[in-house]
C-alpha cells in the first residue's frame, strides 16, 4: 500500500476521545489565531498532548483543518436536522436551513476566520468538497414532501435535491442578488414561489 493510497483510505473516527481532544484544541487555535498562525506544536500544547498523537490521527495539517471544519459541519447538520423536525413543509425546512446557515456563517469559527483570512474562507466556500457533504441531507425531506403532495411525485430525486441545494446555498451566500431577501418571511415567500411553481402560474 503506497503512502498516497493510505492517506485516501484513512478516515477520522469522531468517537475516539483523543480525536475529540485534538479537534477541540485545533478549533480553539484556529478560532483565536487563524489557520496560518496555528502550528501543530501549539495545538499539542493547548490540548495537552503530544505532537506525535496528532500525526497518528491526521496525515498532515491540511487534514487536521479539514477535520475541524468537517466536524463543525456535521454538528451543524445535526442541529439543523433536529430543528427541522418541527417544520412540516419542505418550504419551511429550506427557509429554516437558510436562516440557520446564515447565522452559522456570521458567528464562531467562520466569522473569525473571515476576518483574519478572508481568502481562505472564499476558497473553502467555492470548493465543491464543502457542499458535497450537505447533499445527502436533503433526499429524505424531499421524499417526505413528495409523500404529502407538496411537490410533484414524478420529480427525479437527485434533480430535486440539486435544486433545493442551489437555492439554499445561493440564499446563504448571497442574501441580496437583486431582490431583498433578508428576513425569514421574505425568504419563505420567495422559496414558496420558487419551489412550488417556479416562475409559472399559481
Which CB atom, from 111 or from 173, has the smaller least distance to a second copy? 173
If one asks whether residue 52 binds DNA (CB under 7 A), the answer comes out as yes
60 binds DNA (CB under 7 A): yes
In the complex, what is the shortest distance from the CB of residue 17 to DNA, in angstroms, rounded to a whole number?
Answer: 8
Q: How many Å apart are CA 77 and CA 73, to the nearest integer?
A: 6
54-62, 103-111, 120-128, 189-197 -> range binding DNA (CB under 7 A)? 54-62
Q: Which does residue 52 bind out of a second copy, DNA, none, counting CB within 5 to 8 angstroms by kind?
A: DNA
Query: Interhelix angle for 157-173 vs 128-135, to 10°?
Result: 130
Stretch that binds a second copy, among 9-17, 53-61, 96-104, 169-177 (CB under 8 A): 169-177
Minimum distance from residue 141 beta carbon to a second copy (Å): 12
User: Which residues contact residue 11 at a Cβ distance below 8 angstroms, ignoring those fewer than 6 apart?
Assistant: none
Please work out the total of residues on this chain that contact a second copy, with binding judged by CB under 8 A: 48
Chain contacts with a second copy (rule: CB under 8 A): 90, 118-120, 122-123, 125-126, 128, 131, 135, 145, 151-152, 154-156, 158-167, 169-171, 173-174, 176-179, 181, 190, 193-202
Amino acid at each position: 500500500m503506497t503512502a498516497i493510497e493510505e492517506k485516501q483510505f484513512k478516515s477520522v473516527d469522531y468517537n475516539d476521545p483523543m480525536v475529540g481532544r485534538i479537534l477541540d484544541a485545533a478549533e480553539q487555535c484556529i478560532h483565536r489565531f487563524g489557520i496560518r498562525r496555528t502550528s501543530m506544536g501549539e495545538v499539542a500544547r493547548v490540548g495537552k498532548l503530544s505532537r506525535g498523537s496528532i500525526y497518528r490521527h491526521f496525515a498532515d495539517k491540511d487534514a487536521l483543518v479539514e477535520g475541524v471544519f468537517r466536524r463543525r459541519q456535521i454538528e451543524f447538520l445535526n442541529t439543523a436536522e433536529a430543528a427541522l423536525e418541527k417544520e412540516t413543509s419542505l418550504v419551511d425546512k429550506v427557509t429554516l436551513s437558510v436562516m440557520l446557515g446564515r447565522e452559522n456563517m456570521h458567528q464562531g469559527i467562520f466569522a473569525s476566520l473571515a476576518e483574519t483570512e478572508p481568502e481562505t474562507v472564499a476558497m473553502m466556500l467555492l470548493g465543491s468538497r464543502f457542499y458535497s457533504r450537505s447533499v445527502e441531507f436533503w433526499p429524505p425531506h424531499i421524499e417526505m414532501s413528495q409523500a404529502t403532495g407538496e411537490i410533484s411525485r414524478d420529480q427525479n430525486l437527485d434533480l430535486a435535491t440539486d435544486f433545493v441545494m442551489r437555492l439554499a446555498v445561493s440564499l446563504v451566500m448571497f442574501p441580496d442578488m437583486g431582490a431583498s431577501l433578508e428576513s425569514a418571511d421574505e425568504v419563505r415567500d420567495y422559496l414558496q414561489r420558487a419551489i412550488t411553481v417556479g416562475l409559472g402560474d399559481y
